[in-house]
Structure 1
């Protein structure tokens, strides 16, 4: 598709647009743009530029900056478009994005939102799922890019016992890659495991926010409790640490997917939620 550069009267300001995005993370170096690397943000920015003109979509902000290899089915981001451009493209932008984006990225919805909406700071929670199989033959071939093959039998009861000791507001320094001046305190509101009918074990983890690699570190600790190599209370016992626990192995990225981001039901609360989050988290990692 040829690049379409449209010069419009921009005197009426910008319109904020929410994008709901899904992607397969295998061939991406994570979300954030990086020189010389293929990233989700880079691909999305390029696609928007092809439609509305390079540099016309500004302020791309994401709810959660996923690591290399991590997938998403419920990612959220926002951009600002000149209002005249938004009026021109709003009815066809979703279809046009489908035509220019690569097959491993899809924009599933395009919605005008109030200017106070902030994909990152207005969020009330992020929810991830991690998939593991303990089948003796490994992962099914068609699911090998989204399911971790674990070489030992896993006990669902032990996994949930280990998970229960991690729920709540804690300092998760043992499970985070610490950044200078960033807090490692997080409020984990949900962490549990289920075994689906196909035998795949799924961990669901939800919090207000996460440190870098925190979810995969939590999964790595719970898996060794689930297969019996560590006591079920070992993952929770690490919460007393104030530095990263070297004993914890970070689970591979391909089993992880960001599946949902929550926001206040009342748009009036977008701004106040963003203010509250900034006070609590800055300059923490998203």
Structure 2
């Protein structure tokens, strides 16, 4: 089946005309995470509220995000999609980005709004999610202008030890020791990048990339590496936790505010988007 025809068929089956991709950035400090929660301020809740102000209730449907960030976690490269009737997209698409900017609170922004192929799924089509965790071990703490996205660590950290601790966490493993397990959900993930660097100001940055992450996984990995980096654990200790098949009480979850979702990667072609979504759904099937 050729991709353009497949796209039109998907539109007919799903009952919408246009799938819109939203690239999103937010300061997670005052949000209770991404997902809508009654009585709580969330990123998705803020977006839905403003979309309804601009377009009307239930016009933009199916808001789906690449990764549900926890309370306090930031994003510069979050991705989501919504479905819109074609007449609405035709009438509002050219001005919608600026209209959203005028109504959204200052700590969340839609940075790009584009029509995506019908096969695009912000969650299941993703090839990878990439996070950066910022830590300073300066004796005076974090730069006041970066205090909301940088953890102040009270001990000196050794860059070589941090990278040694990261080596054993590369690749595909069962990360149960580093995850908050959900019933019938797999904790097997493939980490394709995990490394540390010091920037020009001396701040340490951990870059963590994987096909997907389970809840609290990135912050747990960082927490395990930090105690190896400051010498309280051997550099082999984080990888040794991979033998566990349940959450390790010895692993400390690093604070949320140091973590930022910086990028989500997708295939380029419509056919590859559909194939990736199908494969991901199979991988994320309930564990036996």
Scaled by the length of structure 1, what TM-score is found? 0.94
Would the alpha carbon gap of residues 13 and 237 (structure 1) be closer, same or farther in structure 2, given more than 3 Å must change?
A: closer
> How far has the Cα of 1:14 moved from its partner?
2.3
> How far has the Cα of 1:240 moved from its partner?
0.5
* Structure 2 partner of 1:228: 231
> How far has the Cα of 1:166 moved from its partner?
0.3
* Regions of 4+ moved over 2 Å: 11-14
Within-5 A mapping of 1:48-127: 48-127=51-130
Do residues 219 (structure 1) and 222 (structure 2) align?
Answer: yes
Selected match of 1:19 from 22, 25, 28: 22
* Structure 1 partner of 2:9: none
Q: Name the CA distance, whole Å, in 2 between partners of 1:262 and 1:283.
A: 24
* Structure 1 partner of 2:150: 147
**Alignment coverage as a number of residue pairs:** 274
* Structure 1 partner of 2:255: 252
Selected match of 2:160 from 157, 160, 181: 157
* Structure 2 partner of 1:3: none
* Structure 2 partner of 1:39: 42
Do residues 266 (structure 1) and 269 (structure 2) align?
Answer: yes
Q: Name the CA distance, whole Å, in 1 between partners of 2:71 and 2:204.
A: 22
Would the alpha carbon gap of residues 13 and 61 (structure 1) be closer, same or farther in structure 2, given more than 3 Å must change?
A: closer
* Structure 2 partner of 1:275: 278
Q: Name the CA distance, whole Å, in 2 between partners of 1:184 and 1:55.
A: 34
CA deviations over 1:164-222 (Å, ceiling 9, x no partner): 11000000010001111110000000000000000100000000000000000000000
SS at match of 1:47: helix
> How far has the Cα of 1:93 moved from its partner?
0.6
Within-5 A mapping of 1:169-208: 169-208=172-211
SS at match of 1:169: strand
* Structure 1 partner of 2:4: none
SS at match of 1:92: helix
Would the alpha carbon gap of residues 283 and 93 (structure 1) be closer, same or farther in structure 2, given more than 3 Å must change?
A: farther
> How far has the Cα of 1:139 moved from its partner?
0.5
Which sections of structure 2, spanning at least 5 residues, go unmatched? 1-11
* Structure 1 partner of 2:3: none
CA deviations over 1:72-105 (Å, ceiling 9, x no partner): 0000000001110000011101100100000000
Scaled by the length of structure 2, what TM-score is found? 0.94
Which sections of structure 1, spanning at least 5 residues, go unmatched? 1-10
2:16–2:83 Cα contact (<8 Å) kept? no
* Superposition CA RMSD, Å: 1.2
